[in-house]
Amino acid sequence: MKLWCSDTSPYARKVRVLVRELGLTDRVTEQPVATTPIAPNADLAKVSPLVRVPTLETDEGEALYDSRVICEYLESLDGVTPLTPANGAARWRDLRDAALAEGILDTAVGLRYETGLKEARFQDPNWIAARRQRILHALDAMESSAPDAEAGPSQGTIAWAAALGYLDLRFPDMSWREGRPKLAAWYERFSQRPSLVETEPPK
Ligand SMILES: N[C@@H](CCC(=O)N[C@@H](CS)C(=O)NCC(=O)O)C(=O)O
């Protein structure tokens, strides 16, 4: 399988972490690529109509996206022991947690494009402030339900770590740890997993 990814994409990082946690590194080759909304990568465009990373080309030649679909696919492969709870309340809670982190990412990545790719005169400070507020609000929800220190990897916990790592990379001024001691303690421990260390984005 071929995983189109980038070393700074938090969505791709979710998949790259899961690949490692599931023991699939021998079956997945990473294909780094640079793509942005205003400079879509031509090679990726040939296999992925939205031209976004991550995209997974399966051994059958199918292109899968987005990161959630790819995570579900990887956990469904023969010979793989899924990490995300299979059913019941634990599953819905975990997938809800993944959606919360992805909401943070959608907001933060959108902000990054807004401020990084648009000329200053086209940026709306009120909109930017509201988006930052949304991220802080979501972080408060994470603090209220921070996982046990011993919680293992799953789609939910991996998405949380990818989102927090992305805030450290792109929005250090948000100081997300301030006032969120449980979340900070959980992340401190979880981010030491080899899968997270190996996929840490370059500063
Ligand atoms: N919902 C998608 C989001 C993927 C996404 O937005 N990836 C970014 C990189 S972080 C990208 O490829 N951006 C290029 C673009 O939007 O044209 C997922 O979960 O995979």
Tell me how far the alpha carbon of residue 76 lies from the centroid of ligand 1, in angstroms.
23
pLDDT in tens, 105-149: 999 999 999 999 989 999 999 999 999 999 999 999 999 999 888
Tell me how far the alpha carbon of residue 131 lies from the centroid of ligand 1, in angstroms.
18
Torsional class of 5: left (φ above 0), alpha (ψ -120 to 50), beta (otherwise): beta
What does the pLDDT average to over 147-168?
A: 95
Residue 156 has phi, psi (to 5 degrees) of: -70, -55
Task: Give, for ligand 1, the residue of 3, 5, 8, 11 to mutate: max count of ligand atoms closer than 8 Å to Cβ.
Answer: 11
Structural domains of the chain ordered from first start? 2-76 (3.40.30.10), 88-194 (1.20.1050.10)
Residue with CA closest to ligand 1 atom 16 = 37
pLDDT in tens, 7-41: 999 999 999 999 999 999 999 999 999 999 999 99
User: For position 149, what pLDDT does the model report?
Assistant: 80
How many Cβ atoms are within 10 Å of 194's Cβ, its own excluded? 10
Which ligand 1 atom lies nearest to the CA of residue 38? 17
Confidence of residue 4 (pLDDT cuts 50, 70, 90): very high
User: For position 203, what pLDDT does the model report?
Assistant: 83
Preceding peptide of 54 cis, ω within 30°:
yes
Residue with CA closest to ligand 1 atom 2 = 66
Tell me how far the alpha carbon of residue 37 lies from the centroid of ligand 1, in angstroms.
9
Q: What DSSP string runs through 3-58?
A: EEE-SS-HHHHHHHHHHHHTT-TTT-EEEE---BTTB--HHHHHH-TT--S-EEE-
- Which residue type, as a one-letter code, is found at position 77? L
Three-state secondary structure call for residue 2: strand
Confidence of residue 150 (pLDDT cuts 50, 70, 90): confident
What is the value of pTM for the model shown? 0.97
